[in-house]
A and B are shown apart, each in its own frame.
Chain A
Amino acid sequence: MSERLGFEHVTKVYESAGADFVAFDDITLEASPSEFLAIVGPSGCGKSTLLKMAAGLIPPTKGKVQLGGNTVSAPPPGVIYLFQQYAKSLFAWRTVIDNVMFPLEGAPRSQRAELRARCEDYLRQVGLSGFENSYPWQLSGGMQQRVAIARALAADPQVLLLDEPFSAVDALTRMELQTLVLQLWERRKFTAILVTHDVEEAIFLADRVAVLSARPTSLKEIIDVGLPRPRDQLATREDPRFLKLRHHLTTSLLAKGSGHVVAA
């Protein structure tokens, strides 16, 4: 199950100390059903704000966000947000399994056992079998983000919004989590929108990469990744096309910068 998610002429203006501050202006962008779309841009360009609008957490000043055929005005069903700060998004007072069960607690009591079994399966899928009764704060950072991923799966996502979800873990864990998300995406075919400042991550995961400019933010370009799937942490990253895209995107992102930054 998946949905089309589109930004139509979306503008966000903040008012601070009497002066208007334009976060981004007139952005039109669309993710097709089951597409993996990445949005990259320099820090402070409002990428997260864009994602929170898609989740219905923040309203746009102008324009609208469309999900399927409907305009998003409040958190819509099936749109799940994966936060960068996984520790603050998990409920410390709940065990791992109870965290995963959280989205399903509205269900009738009679279905409890079945839902629990399903959540245990999600935990198995993210590699956390045996940790059901641990508390989040007893786990490592990477494992905590896995709990958040399992909880997102439990909510049966049609659209999964990933807000720099791997930026707070170490490099090796990051790669493991990227592979995990790709596997789950291929299995469940939800629409995925990833916001990141990591160009390699965007290319590795996405079908298309949208590049945002620095403030006032606008859509600079959209590129097709076109790398074969399933992707592999070594083979994909060594593919000449990968390197070419990395070169292109890095240049594009640095273009508006100070010009003295040396590309990695």
Chain B
Amino acid sequence: MAGIKLDTLTKSYGDTQVLHHIDAEIEDGEFVVIVGPSGCGKSTLLRMVAGLESVTSGNVHIGDKRVNDLEPADRDIAMVFQNYALYPHMSVRDNMAYGLKIRKLSKAEIDRRVNEAAEILEIGQYLDRKPRQLSGGQRQRVAMGRAIVRDPQVFLFDEPLSNLDAKLRVQMRLEIRKLQKRLGVTSIFVTHDQVEAMTLGDRLMVLNGGYVEQFGTPIELYERPASIFVAGFIGSPSMNFLSGAANAGQVTLSNGTTIATGSTASGEVLLGVRPEHLKPEENGPFKMTIEMLEHLGGVTLLHGVLDGTDTQIVASLNGITDHQVGDQVSFAAKQSHLHLFDAKSEKRIEE
């Protein structure tokens, strides 16, 4: 078991820098999710930890060892790939035993480990099948099995759930979480799905354009997003952003409404408020005209435009409501649920 330390890690392809000074310390046994839109460099970062991509500058430490120049085989890691990358010509048993045979373990030990992993993952009855005879979910389990038999210091997951259907994805997500807790192996999980990220990770690293936007627990990211990007990325539906001017503890929106924020900030700001934090209230400061309703059963989403502006705004109300398109509704939000971001730097303004 070991932690991972990334020290001013960068990656360039020729003149294009794809990762900028990544610093992170991952505790032993921690489950870290790297999340971001496609092309943000999250897979590249994972592959650098795996040793499949070279490091341009900076250091990667696994445990106490600097592993920059070590082959993937010598880093004591296991990786689960997006397309599972099972060896198609080998049975499930041989797929899982492959790494162990290379490490020259005894036959009995290999059998013991494979059977144990198969039992954990409930793939015992498929051990003699070839990967092509398995369903997507079963292949996923075999890929996991291949990782856990090795008993590595670190698990790396490269979007392992994105090829599964929605229902199976939720199920495997829970299983991965349980398995990781049970085995206590330090894990890095890459995904572009913010729900996956929120539910799986002890901590989340939000990457955008090769920069770390924020690195913290899911609740921290939700409650105190460090930038507009994180605020918009975490949570569904996305946070509403309203432009305005801050002055003396309040923000004046572009339609003239003033909202008390308790912040001492001044100047051009964006006021962020999550759809689920908007509560209907007579004479509330956020007045909108409903343009569209989405009934999801558990919640109802009201889409509309903030009166006097052309800013789109979404509110999420519990249950099924009787609002109609064209209705004018007023909302209020608690002061603690308001987020202020600098309009220029797009960073959070701390109270």
A and B associate in one complex: no
Residues of B within 8 A of A (CB): none
